[in-house]
Amino acid sequence: MEERIEKLEKMVAELATENKGLKQDISSLKAKVNSIELKNQDYLTRIMNLEKKEKYAQIQQKLTNAPKLNVKHNHTDWITTLCLMTGRYALTGSKDCSIKCLTIGEDDDEESVLFTIEKAHESEVQYILKISDSEVISCGDEGTIKRWFVDCKYSFEKNKSRYKLLEIFSINGNHKVHDSAYKIIKLKNGDLCSCGKGSRIKFWKQNKETEKHEKYQELECKAEYVQSVLELDDNKLVAGGWHSTQFYDIKEFKSETIIKDTFTEHANAMIRMGDKIICSGWGIFFIDIKTQQLLGKIQIEYECEEGIYALAPLTKNLIICGGNLRTIDIYDIDNYEKVASRPIDDEFIFDVKNDEGGFIFCGSKNIFGYIMSEFNDGKGNNEEAEEDED
C-alpha cells in the first residue's frame, strides 16, 4: 500500500512540474502574442498616420494652388458681411453703413459695383439674408432690421431704381428691435428668427394683408449677446452666444440644453454638418445634435481676442474658416486637426460663402475668392443652404 502511495505522490509531483512548465510556456506564448499585436498596432498606426499626412499634404497643395479671384469694391470702411445672389452677384455690407451690389467675374479689371444703398443703416451692417432673387433682409448694429427689393441684374431702364426699402421691422412702433441686430434666418415654416445684443431671440411672421412682419414670440437666452441662430430638424433651434450654446424646442417655445464654454466673445459662425454642430469663437467647438452635448474642441492661439468669424463646410468632413489670424484654414472635423492653411493680406475675415465650386471671402478690406472645385465631393453644404433657403 505504501509503495502505491509513493508512486501516486511521485506521479502527482511530476504532473505538477509539467503543469508549471506548461503554464510558463503559455505565459511566454501570450507575451509573444501581445508583443506581436502591439507591433502590428504600432505598424497600423504608423501606416494610418502616413496616409493621413499624405492626404493632408494633398489638401494643402490644393489650397495653395487654388486660383485667387479679387472682387473690386469701393467701401470706405471694413466690409462686414457678404450675401451671394443668383447669377454671380453679391451684396456686401460695411462699417460705412452702406450695402453694395457687386458682380463676381474672372476679370480683375471689370467694373464690379452695380449700385450702392447709401446709409442703408445708421451704424454698420451686420448681416444680409437672401429671401429671394429680388428680396433681402439686412441687420444693423443700431438695432434695426430692414427688408429690401434689389435688382441685381443689368437693367437697360436707366431711370428704374435698382433697390427699394420695403419694410423696417418694428415692435409697438419702435424700430430698434434689438440693442444690436446681429443676424436673421428664415425658418422652414417661412417665419423669420432674429438675434442680437440683449439676450432675446425674436420670431417674426409676415402679415398677409399688410405684408409687414410682426413679432409673435421671443425666447430668453442665457448669453447676453446672441451671435447666431441655426434651425435644426424636429422643431429644434440652437443659439450661439457669448460663452454658451443653447438648444430650444420652437414648437413649445422652451429651452432645453445649455452648453457652457463654447461660443466666446466676438464670434458669429455656426454651421451644421451631419449630426454635428460646429461653432467658433476662441476655438472651434463640436456639439452632438442628438445628445446636445459637447464632443470636443480645437483650441487656437490668437493675436487678439476676436477669434474665428467665418466658417463653412468644404466637404463632408472638412471645414474652411477665417478670422483674425490672417490665414484661410481648413480643419478635419473627424480628427479635430488643422489640415491646411493659406496666408492672406487682409487683417480680418468676417464672412465666407460657397459660390458653385469656389468660396468667396469677405475680408475686412477686400473681397476675394478661391476656385476650389477639386474639393467638391457633393457633401459640403453652404451655411445659407442649411439656414435660409426653402
Q: Is residue 119 part of a domain?
A: no
CA distances from 363 to 41, 49, 75 (A): 45, 34, 12
Q: Is residue 291 part of a domain?
A: yes
**Within 10 A of 129 (CB to CB), how many other CB atoms are there?**
23
Q: What pLDDT shows up at residue 266?
A: 57
Q: Is residue 298 part of a domain?
A: yes
Torsion of the alpha carbons at 351, 212, 235 and 128, rounded to the nearest 10? 0
Q: Is residue 347 part of a domain?
A: yes
Across the strands, what pairs with 84?
Answer: 90
Q: Is residue 155 part of a domain?
A: no
Q: Which residue has the cell 402679415?
A: 207
Q: Are 239 and 193 in contact (CB under 8 A)?
A: no
Residue 278's CATH number: 2.130.10.10
**Within 10 A of 170 (CB to CB), how many other CB atoms are there?**
16
What is the DSSP secondary structure assignment for residue 171, as one 8-state letter? B
Name which of 330, 329, 323, 314 is nearest 362 in CA terms.
323
Q: Is residue 204 part of a domain?
A: no
| Residue range of the domain that includes 54 | 1-65
Q: What pLDDT shows up at residue 300?
A: 75
Element (H, E) at 228: strand 226-231
**Within 10 A of 366 (CB to CB), how many other CB atoms are there?**
18
Q: Is residue 318 part of a domain?
A: yes
Name the domain boundary from 16, 43, 65.
65
Q: What pLDDT shows up at residue 109?
A: 54
**Cα 276–280–283 angle (5° rounding)?**
110
Helix (H, G, I), strand (E, B) or coil at 56: helix
Q: Are 242 and 224 in contact (CB under 8 A)?
A: yes
Q: What pLDDT shows up at residue 387?
A: 43
- Please report, in tens digits, the pLDDT of each residue of the chain (390 residues total): 666 666 666 665 666 666 666 667 667 767 776 777 676 676 566 666 667 788 888 999 989 988 888 888 889 999 999 999 988 899 999 999 999 999 887 655 556 888 999 999 999 999 999 999 999 999 999 999 999 999 987 665 555 788 999 999 999 999 999 999 999 999 999 999 999 988 789 999 999 999 999 999 999 988 888 889 999 988 999 998 888 889 999 999 999 988 887 777 656 689 999 999 998 888 888 999 999 999 988 877 655 555 888 899 998 899 999 888 888 999 999 988 899 999 988 888 889 998 776 888 888 888 888 888 777 654 444 444 444 433
The count of structural domains within the chain is 2
Helix (H, G, I), strand (E, B) or coil at 302: coil
Quickly list H helices, the chain. 2-65, 383-387
Across the strands, what pairs with 358?
Answer: 371
Q: Is residue 306 part of a domain?
A: yes
Q: Are 243 and 261 in contact (CB under 8 A)?
A: yes
349-354: strand order across its sheet: 68-71, 367-371, 358-363, 349-354
Name the domain boundary from 25, 49, 65.
65
Name the domain boundary from 10, 30, 65.
65
Q: Which residue has the cell 454635428?
A: 276
Q: What pLDDT shows up at residue 47?
A: 63
Phi (first) and psi of residue 192, to 5 degrees: -115, 155
- Give Cα 61 to chain centroid, integer Å: 23
Q: What letters, b where the CB count within 10 A reaches 16 and e where it falls short, cover 82-104?
A: bbbbeeebbbbbbbbbbbbbbbb
